[in-house]
Amino acid sequence: MEKVYKICTLLLLSAVGKVNGQTTYFEQNFSAGGTPSSYVSSTPNNNQVNGLAGLSATITNNAVQFTRPTDSGTGYISRSSNFSGTPTSLHVQFSFEAISNDPAVTATSAVMFYVGSGFSSGPTNPNNGDTYARLGIALSPAGSGQFQVRTVPSGGGGTTSASFSGRQTITFAMNNSGATLNYVSPTGSMETLPDDTYDIWIGTIKFANDQSVLTPGQTINNFKFRINDGVGVMQIGDIRIRDINGVLPVTLLSFTAKPEGDRVQLAWSTTMERNADRFVIERSADLSEYVEVGEVIAKGTTDERQNYGLTDLNPQPGVNYYRLKQIDLDGTVHEYKPISAILKADEPVVTLFPNPANPDRIHLRLWNADSAVIQLFDAMGQPVNLRLERQPGSADLLFNHPLTPGIYWINVQMNGQKQTIKVLIR
């Protein structure tokens, strides 16, 4: 059987489980390539902006690249059309990398990122009254290719982070709901965010905690990146903006499906659980109708990584889609995106179960191998006398006397192909 692995890892940009319980207002990773104009519309959907231009902007390495060869000129990414719906909280994430820069040129506000309302679609700097919250990115004087993140309060000042290099994920969480909210941090832990405050993370490092916003109560349905300081090449990508109100009680790190013979091994990991009762795995051939494969009890409430697994004993030839459901203690059901595993049905496969095996019987599962020639050898390579009982899809190796505990080898031959299986007799 050809083992084709299609593994789906459900991630936010900082390795936090991507869930369906939250509203996504904007999402764009620029993986389609093209030109900046490909991502611009006067009536944008949730992966388009109203303006993207300046500083020789290109789409490079799944990001927008801005080049500022001298300390002049402005580049921008602007969303001036309101989001669909009116957010009362936002969880903003984007990647940033300083490809190169001139450390000798002051660049404390190389990039400014604004969230608010009433923004223009062009390079104009939003005024303070229209801005709910903002952050700055400085090109570091410590060396080329390094940057720092800044808080930018009213009247200037603020604090500056340590220097970072390479592509980093910036997380900017803000709360305009009128009440304290919780959100899942880039580390997978739960964070508390008071009203009209924001947090900033660089990767998994928390830089700014419960900072006061610029204009409390301002609507948060526009955003703008503005590149207007320093000399260098910068890339902004993987922009994802959602609310933080709908945080699910489970943070899913990964969900995989791997064919093994005529079965599929399913595995998933969580980094945080809150009042979770159980997980349910379902299988579908067409992404329409699903049948249940099995259930696994959840840990419940934990901030530690948990690993789970389940075996599908009856996958179908061809494509099998698997959907993971998480069910709360109160019965609420949350679904995650389906993944797939492909079983190629026209090749013979023989698998052993269980292993270690009992000394009086060895059971084999046969996939397109009912007529296979099956032999057993001991650790010294000597053949072992046996009686073979075949049934459709399986075979049992039986012995006149129980086998001595140890290592044995099963040889399977069919259509010119040979398979050797190691078996431990206990």
The pLDDT, as a whole number, for residue 411 is 93
- Residues 61-95: pLDDT tens digits? 999 999 999 999 999 999 999 998 889 999 999 99
Question: What is d(CA 299, CA 91) in angstroms, rounded to the nearest whole number?
Answer: 27
Q: What is the mean pLDDT of residues 184-210?
A: 90
What pLDDT is attached to residue 248? 55
Domain boundaries, the chain: 3-8+248-343, 24-242, 349-425
Cα–Cα distance for residue pair 42/57, rounded to 1 Å: 19
pLDDT of 250 strictly over 60: yes
Q: What is the pLDDT of residues 259-297, one digit of tens each?
A: 877 789 999 998 878 788 999 999 998 887 889 999 999
Taking the complete model, does pTM exceed 0.85, yes or no? no
Q: CA torsion sign, 223 to 229 to 230 to 232? A: positive
Q: At the topology level of CATH, where does 349-425 sit?
A: Immunoglobulin-like (2.60.40)
Mean predicted confidence (pLDDT) in 390-408: 93
Give the long-range contacts of residues 364-372, CB within 8 A, separation 24 or more. Answer: 364/394, 364/395, 364/396, 364/397, 364/410, 365/261, 365/262, 365/393, 365/394, 366/393, 366/394, 366/395, 367/1, 367/261, 367/262, 367/393, 369/412, 369/414, 371/414, 372/348, 372/412, 372/413, 372/414
Position 16 scores a pLDDT of: 33
Rounded Cα distance, 118 and 79, in Å = 10
Task: Fill in the DSSP letter of residue 22.
Answer: S
Residue 13: per-residue pLDDT? 25
pLDDT for residue 393 = 82
Instruction: Dump pLDDT digits (tens) for 55-67.
Output: 999 999 999 999 9
Q: Which residues have a Cβ under 8 Å from the Cβ of 68 and sit 6 or more positions away?
A: 55, 75, 227, 230, 231, 232, 233, 234
- Give yes or no on whether 3-8+248-343 and 349-425 have one common fold: yes
CA atoms within 13 A on the CB side of 338: 16
Q: Is 120 exposed, middle or buried (0-12, 13-18, 19+ CB in 10 A)?
A: middle
Topology of the domain comprising 3-8+248-343: Immunoglobulin-like (2.60.40)
pLDDT tens figures, 127-176:
999 999 999 999 999 889 999 999 999 887 899 999 999 999 999 999 99
| pLDDT at 21 exceeding the cut of 80 | no
Out of 2.60.120, 2.130.10, 2.10.25, 1.10.10, the CATH code matching 24-242 is 2.60.120
Q: Which of the residue ranges 251-255, 281-285, 388-392 would you say has the lowest mean pLDDT?
A: 251-255
